[in-house]
Amino acid sequence: MKAVLFDMDGVIIDSHSVAGQLLHEAANNLGCNLSVKEIQLWGSLSSRQFWQKIKQEFKLSQDITELIHTYDVDREINLYREIGLVAGVRKLLEDLKEHGIYTALATSASRKRMNAVLDIFSIEQLFDKCLCDEDVSVSKPDPEIYLKACSELALKPNECVVIEDSTNGKTAAHQAGMKCIGFKGLKHVNEDMSGCELIIDDFGEIDTHRLRSLFQ
């Protein structure tokens, strides 16, 4: 194992807990009758994928860019400090760096949200590469973002392991030819993480030694 690639939403930060409510408000303001729980079922979608789904299901006339702008992303970002990082994730990142393991952030979030998380929690220095939705042409479950992160680290896919919380992310990791750890520590949505090489509920369950054992 030479690198660990992290998803962001639901892995680094519990953004789903606030995004669900804010997306619910934005969608309902457009006349789309959806519950917070229904919206959280789509938590692994990128912003563009989410609004494409809303537009299609409710036959909205607005274009996707206009719909995206109905969501108050600044309001979400302002709540990040209250949420904090997922417990144990900073310690894991520091442990990986101490052992010379490369790390990358590979998220379907926008660059604005990704940079906000990196800045608010002062964790940019813990990642060797940071990629977001604007860095790829196709979002997860397409493997492009993981393959691009791997390429920028000058590594092979079979030298990397991904930590994900969603079915789309798991699919992207496996289609990229990488091992995947399913993180189920946040219980907002019961994603199917079957098929992952390891499933955890707490980051205290893994460290560099445990991750290396997946490759033996």
- Choose the weakest-confidence range: 20-24, 73-77, 182-186: 20-24
In this prediction, residue 72 carries a pLDDT of 81
Residues shown for the chain: 216
Please check whether residue 49 is in contact with residue 142, taking contact to mean a CB–CB distance below 8 angstroms: no
Query: What residues form DSSP beta bridges with 9?
Result: 13
* Confidence tier at 24 by pLDDT (50, 70, 90): confident
pLDDT mean over 80-85: 94
Q: Is 29's pLDDT higher than 70?
A: yes
pLDDT digits 0-9 by tens, 163-187 = 999 999 999 999 999 999 999 998 7
Q: Burial level of 41, CB count in 10 A (0-12/13-18/19+)?
A: middle
In this prediction, residue 98 carries a pLDDT of 98
What gap in Å lies between CA 70 and CA 93, rounded to an integer? 35
pLDDT digits 0-9 by tens, 85-125 = 999 999 999 999 999 999 999 999 999 999 999 999 999 99
Comparing CA positions, the residue from 42, 167, 155 lying closest to residue 101 is: 155
Average per-residue pLDDT for the chain: 92
**Selected residue with higher pLDDT from 79 and 94:** 94
pLDDT mean over 5-14: 96
What gap in Å lies between CA 5 and CA 183, rounded to an integer? 13
Please check whether residue 164 is in contact with residue 4, taking contact to mean a CB–CB distance below 8 angstroms: no
What's the token pair of residue 69?
């702008």
What's the token pair of residue 7?
């998803």
In this prediction, residue 40 carries a pLDDT of 72
Q: What is the pTM of this model?
A: 0.87
The distance of Cα 118 from the centroid of its chain, to the nearest Å, equals 13
**Selected residue with higher pLDDT from 20 and 160:** 160
